[in-house]
Amino acid sequence: MVLDFDRLRVEMVEEQIRARGIRDEALLSAFARVPRHLFVPEEERRWAYGDHPLPIGYGQTISQPYMVAVMTRELKVRPGLKVLEVGTGSGYQAAILAEMGCEVFSVERIEPLYLRALRLLGELGYLGRVRLKLGDGSLGWPEEAPFDRIVVTAAAERIPEALVEQLSPGGVLVAPIGGPLFQELHVCVKTEEGLKVKVGEGCRFVPLLKGVEISSKDREV
């Protein structure tokens, strides 16, 4: 059976994202353009447009489409903004942000995932708008700071201070904060008095870990 991924992608946007109240047309258009099925392992592609996360290897996942959309909406991005992503994973969130006109800097700690995302984003023509780094995402990307927006795609008990320092005044940081089994989405705005925090809906992400995992496998780009 040959799947019609274009049709499935349109259905995903309409039934999972627009139907749940997200009306930002630039966001919806970006989700309609990015081929999500290419960001998951081949054996998972038949489920790529389902309403759920999927495994991408190395204990990591690609988030549910709706959750990616919620985090993107809360970032309030617009063309020209400089965005730091902590946790490249599959590269899907970076591609969405690039489609919305952002300059994206994304850090991944697991070398095979970094190489896979680098290869795929290059093949899809995103590397002009997305820069990737193999490193400890909890440390951010100080050489490129400050950032207008920061999105953290892994769960932490608290927001790493390095990320707060690298956020521009007035900038927005979105991250899942909580324990290992359940978190809440925190939307933070950097003010002169500190972070102004709004707690959003519940979610479940893999943990934000420190350090870098280097592997001798899958090194070709």
Q: Residue 220 above 70 pLDDT?
A: no
Lowest mean pLDDT of 6-10, 84-88, 208-212, name the range: 208-212
pLDDT tens digits for range 18-64: 999 999 999 999 999 999 999 999 999 999 999 999 999 999 999 99
Domain contains 57: no
Domain extent for 180? 67-203
Question: Mean of the per-residue pLDDT values for the chain?
Answer: 94
pLDDT value of residue 181 = 84
CATH number (domain holding residue 105) = 3.40.50.150
pLDDT at 21: 97
Instruction: Evaluate whether residue 24 is within a structural domain.
Output: no
Residue 190 lies in a domain: yes
Catalytic residue among 63, 90, 106, 138: 63
Active site residue 63: yes
* 33 assigned to some structural domain: no
Q: How many domains does the chain have?
A: 1
Classify residue 93 as left (phi > 0), alpha (psi -120 to 50) or beta.
Answer: alpha
Alpha-carbon distance of 10 to 105, in angstroms, equals 28
Show contacts of 112-117: CB within 8 Å, 24+ apart: 112/57, 112/58, 112/215, 112/217, 112/218, 113/56, 113/57, 113/58, 113/60, 113/88, 113/89, 114/88, 115/218, 115/219, 115/220, 115/221, 116/90, 116/91, 116/218, 117/88, 117/89, 117/90, 117/91
- pLDDT score, position 1: 64
Instruction: Count how many Cα atoms sit within 13 Å of the Cα of residue 22 in the half-sphere of its side chain.
Output: 25
Share of the chain above pLDDT 70, in %: 97
Decide if 97 is inside a domain.
Answer: yes
Within a domain: 89 = yes
- Residue 201 — pLDDT band, cuts 50, 70, 90? confident
Q: What is the value of pTM for the model shown?
A: 0.94
